[in-house]
Amino acid sequence: MDGKRILLGVSGSISAYKAALLVRLLVKAGAEVQVIMTESAKTFITPLTLATLSKRPVLSTFINDDTGNWNNHVELGLWADALVIAPATAHTLARCAHGFADDLLSAVYLSARCPVFFAPAMDLDMYQHPSTLTNLRLLESYGNQIIRAEHGELASGLIGEGRLAEPDHIVEILATFFDKDKQPISLAGRNVLITAGPTQEAIDPVRYISNHSTGKMGYAIAKAFASAGANVTLVSGPTALPIPHPSIRRIKVRSAQEMFEATQAEFDKASVVVLSAAVADYTPVHVADQKIKKSEREFSLALTKTIDIAATLGARKKAGQYMMGFALETNDERSNALKKLHAKNLDWIVLNSLRDEGAGFGHDTNKITVIDKNEQTAEFALKTKDEVAQDLLYLVAQKLAE
């Protein structure tokens, strides 16, 4: 970060107070920081605070009220090595996504030739609203980077996703982006097999047994490996997610048996296998041909074990093949993960706990601990699932390079 020129856009959110710490951390890391505030941001934190910390006057209008000089949005866009908008409110996201340029910050955004990072902050229903999600996708499609909102207590008192990413996380993301010494990972020519999502075990033509998996983690992993040049085959249970990278070959399955058959057919060609799907442990013994009608007060369903995909493939693993499994636990996390690691002949087990806020099903974040077959442990902080996928990619790439 030393010597990097950072434009920091601050919009009108209660989390604007975090901009003070963000400026301080950026300056401490050696960056030059120029703050641009929207008018509404000034109601949450004073320009004087940010000017003092950045050692530069804060800009907010096209014409400087004190001097009458023009704050040239084009020059500002050319000056910066990165534009970071944090917090980015739903209003600011919408204006940037749709090309409005009626204030200094949005005009600078449209003029910027540098990488742009948006760090959203808003209440959880606003963050999950289709219009906000559409605007985030639009901004990403323009080549911008989204620093995902984090999970936690919000100003409304609700708990969920919408918190501005912590300032140290934002600085870490920027530092990683600017790290010229970090060599890009290449897995060109490697065949990688990844499973993702839930399975659905049919009870009758309209009902099934399943779980809360959305497939987000597995799809993020598939994207990371494909971006590193690997030939990725993604065996996916039912999800609403699009294919995350154009080079990925996706095989859609529904049941645990179908997932086993698809992974078994692809297994021998893969040098890396990542089993991140949430596969049902049991399936109905009999599937009704017709919809089961409600009749008796109690209803019993006979279940039988599904095939253990990880154990079956682990027993077939050859020299030069590496397997990574996942363990989502609610208690005795480490001991349960170790049992799974050794019983299924895995090279790594990725452990996460439903007791950790922001981890588990449905979130855009995850907090993992990775244990290898020698029981060496690496713990990671709560991160976006895209960042978690990069961490896992790095671990695999290290092993392949040995």
Domain segments of the chain as ranges: 5-178, 191-283+303-401
Q: pLDDT tens digit string along 243-290?
A: 988 899 999 999 999 999 999 999 999 999 999 999 999 999 999 999
Q: Which residue has the higher pLDDT, 185 or 211?
A: 211
Single-letter amino acid, residue 181 = D
pTM: 0.61
Q: pLDDT tens digit string along 73-94?
A: 888 888 999 999 999 999 999 9
The pLDDT value given to residue 55: 94
Q: What is the mean pLDDT of residues 53-61?
A: 92
Please choose, from the candidates 66, 16, 7, the residue with its C-alpha nearest in 3D space to the C-alpha of residue 34: 7
Question: Considering just the CA atoms, what is the radius of gyration of the chain in Å?
Answer: 24
Helices (H), 268-384: 309-316, 333-343
The pLDDT value given to residue 380: 85
Single-letter amino acid, residue 381 = A
Cα 26 from chain centre: 23
Place of tokens 């363990």: 327
Q: What percent of the chain stands above pLDDT 70?
A: 97
Q: Are 50 and 20 in contact (CB under 8 A)?
A: yes
Assign 173 a pLDDT band (cuts: 50, 70, 90). Answer: confident
Extract the annotated binding site for CTP.
Answer: 281, 291, 326, 340, 344
Read off the DSSP letter of residue 193.
E
User: Can you give the three-state secondary structure of 218-286, one letter per residue?
Assistant: HHHHHHHHHHCCCEEEEEECCCCCCCCCCCCEEEECCCHHHHHHHHHHHHCCCCEEEECCECCCEEECC
Q: Are 389 and 369 in contact (CB under 8 A)?
A: no
Extract the annotated binding site.
Answer: 281, 291, 326, 340, 344
Read off the DSSP letter of residue 40.
G
The pLDDT value given to residue 65: 64
Q: How is domain 191-283+303-401 classified at the architecture level of CATH?
A: 3-Layer(aba) Sandwich (3.40)
Which CATH superfamily groups domain 5-178? Answer: Flavin prenyltransferase-like (3.40.50.1950)
Is the link from the previous residue into 130 a cis peptide, with omega within 30 of 0?
A: no
Single-letter amino acid, residue 56 = R
CA 179/CA 70 separation, integer angstroms: 34
The pLDDT value given to residue 157: 86
What's the whole-number average pLDDT of the chain?
91
Q: Take residue 52 and report the two structure tokens written for it.
A: 């003092």
Cα 1 to Cα 5, 7, 51, distances in angstroms: 9, 13, 20
Q: Is 69 a catalytic residue?
A: no
Catalytic residue among 69, 135, 144, 211: 211
CA 273/CA 378 separation, integer angstroms: 20
The pLDDT value given to residue 86: 95
The pLDDT value given to residue 156: 84
Q: Say yes or no to pLDDT of 182 above 60.
A: no
Q: What is the mean pLDDT of residues 225-252?
A: 94
Task: Judge whether 5-178 and 191-283+303-401 match in fold.
Answer: yes
Q: Are 351 and 329 in contact (CB under 8 A)?
A: yes
